[in-house]
C-alpha cells in the first residue's frame, strides 16, 4: 500500500484542486483541501473554467446546488480536463431526486470521461439504473454492504471509472477489484457536507497519483478516520464542535495516526 507515501506527497506537492461545487458546503470543501495539504480553487464562470482547470491537478464536480448557468461551465471544464489528462471526480449529490440532477449527471457521463464517482448508495444506485431507498428500508448491514459492492462494481464497469460508495461501510471499486473501508462514525451524517468534503479529499489525492483506486480509498478512509478522532474529541459536546474537530483531525493527520486506525480490506472481485 502506498498510502503513507501519498499522505506525505500531498503535503509536499501541494496540488491545486479546481472545484465546481455547491454554495452550501463550499467553505468546508476549501478548508478540507487545505487541511490535507492541497490548495483549493473555486471557479465556475464559463469564461474562466478552462483556464483554471488548465493550471490545476484535478477537477471536482459537485451538483449539490445545481443551476443552469453552472451546468455549462461543468461540461466545459470537464472537456478541457479530459484533453489535458487531468482527473475528473464527480459527486452526484441528490441524483435521483430531480430531473435536472438526473439529466445533468447523464449529460456529464455521456459527454465526458469521469475518473471517479463518489456518492451514497442511493445516488450510485440511480447511476446503476436501480431505484434504492436508503431510508426506511429494513435491511441488515450485511445486506447493505453486499448490495453496495454489486452496485459499485456495476457502475464502475458501466462508466470505466472508480466508484466510491460511502455509508455504514464504504466500498471502492474499479470494476475488477474492490476495497471495503470500515472507518467512520455515524455523527458524520449529522454534519452537512461530509460527503462533499470526502469527494474533495478524493480529488486532492487524485491530484498526486494516477492510481485513482488508491486515491479514492485514501480520501474516503481519511474522512472516516477523521470522523472517529473527532467523535472521541467532541462527540459528546455536539455537532458544532464535532465539525471543527473533523478539520482539526485532517489537518493533523499523519502516517502513524492513519496506519493505526485504517480498516481497509482489499479484495478481488
The site for a copy of itself (CB under 8 A) is made up of: 22-28, 30-31, 34-35, 40-45, 47-48, 51-52, 55, 64-69, 94, 97-101, 190-193, 237-241, 243-252
CA 268 to chain CA centroid, nearest Å: 22
CB of 196 to a copy of itself, least distance (A): 11
CA 24 to chain CA centroid, nearest Å: 16
CB of 191 to a copy of itself, least distance (A): 7
CB of 63 to a copy of itself, least distance (A): 10
Asked if 124 contacts 134 with a C-beta cutoff of 8 angstroms, the reply is no
The nearer residue to a copy of itself, 142 or 260, going by C-beta atoms, is: 260
Location of C-alpha cell 498526486: 208
The pair phi, psi for residue 196, each rounded to 5°, is -60, -45
The nearer residue to a copy of itself, 146 or 192, going by C-beta atoms, is: 192
CB of 24 to a copy of itself, least distance (A): 5
What CA–CA distance (Å, rounded) separates 33 from 254? 15
What CA–CA distance (Å, rounded) separates 265 from 178? 9
The nearer residue to a copy of itself, 8 or 65, going by C-beta atoms, is: 65
The nearer residue to a copy of itself, 33 or 179, going by C-beta atoms, is: 33
What CA–CA distance (Å, rounded) separates 149 from 182? 13
CB of 138 to a copy of itself, least distance (A): 16
Q: Which stretches of the chain are assigned E, i.e. beta strand?
A: 16-20, 39-42, 58-62, 88-91, 116-120, 162-166, 170-173, 177-181, 264-268
The nearer residue to a copy of itself, 83 or 176, going by C-beta atoms, is: 83
Amino acid at each position: 500500500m502506498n498510502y503513507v507515501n501519498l499522505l506525505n506527497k500531498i503535503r509536499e506537492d501541494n496540488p491545486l484542486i479546481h472545484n465546481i461545487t455547491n454554495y452550501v458546503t463550499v467553505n468546508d470543501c476549501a478548508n478540507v483541501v487545505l487541511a490535507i495539504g492541497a490548495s483549493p480553487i473555486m471557479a465556475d464562470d464559463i469564461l474562466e473554467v478552462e483556464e483554471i482547470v488548465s493550471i490545476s491537478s484535478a477537477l471536482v464536480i459537485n451538483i449539490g446546488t445545481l443551476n443552469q448557468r453552472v451546468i455549462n461551465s461543468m461540461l466545459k471544464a470537464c472537456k478541457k480536463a479530459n484533453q489535458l489528462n487531468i482527473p475528473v471526480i464527480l459527486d452526484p449529490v441528490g441524483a435521483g431526486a430531480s430531473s435536472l440532477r438526473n439529466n445533468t449527471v447523464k449529460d456529464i457521463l455521456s459527454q465526458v470521461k469521469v475518473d471517479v464517482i463518489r456518492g451514497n448508495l442511493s445516488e450510485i444506485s440511480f447511476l446503476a439504473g436501480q431505484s434504492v431507498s436508503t431510508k426506511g428500508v429494513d435491511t441488515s448491514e450485511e445486506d447493505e454492504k453486499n448490495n453496495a459492492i454489486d452496485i459499485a462494481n456495476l457502475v464502475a464497469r458501466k462508466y470505466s471509472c472508480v466508484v466510491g460508495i460511502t455509508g455504514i461501510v464504504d466500498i471502492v471499486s474499479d470494476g475488477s477489484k474492490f476495497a471495503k473501508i470500515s472507518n467512520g462514525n455515524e455523527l458524520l451524517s449529522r454534519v452537512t457536507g461530509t460527503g462533499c468534503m470526502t469527494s474533495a479529499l478524493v480529488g486532492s489525492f487524485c491530484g498526486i497519483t494516477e492510481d485513482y483506486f488508491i486515491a479514492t480509498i485514501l480520501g474516503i478512509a481519511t474522512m472516516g478516520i477523521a470522523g472517529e478522532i473527532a467523535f472521541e474529541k467532541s462527540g459528546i459536546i455536539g455537532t458544532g464542535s464535532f465539525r471543527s474537530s473533523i478539520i482539526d483531525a485532517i489537518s493533523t493527520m499523519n502516517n502513524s495516526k492513519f496506519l493505526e486506525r485504517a480498516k481497509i480490506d482489499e479484495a478481488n472481485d
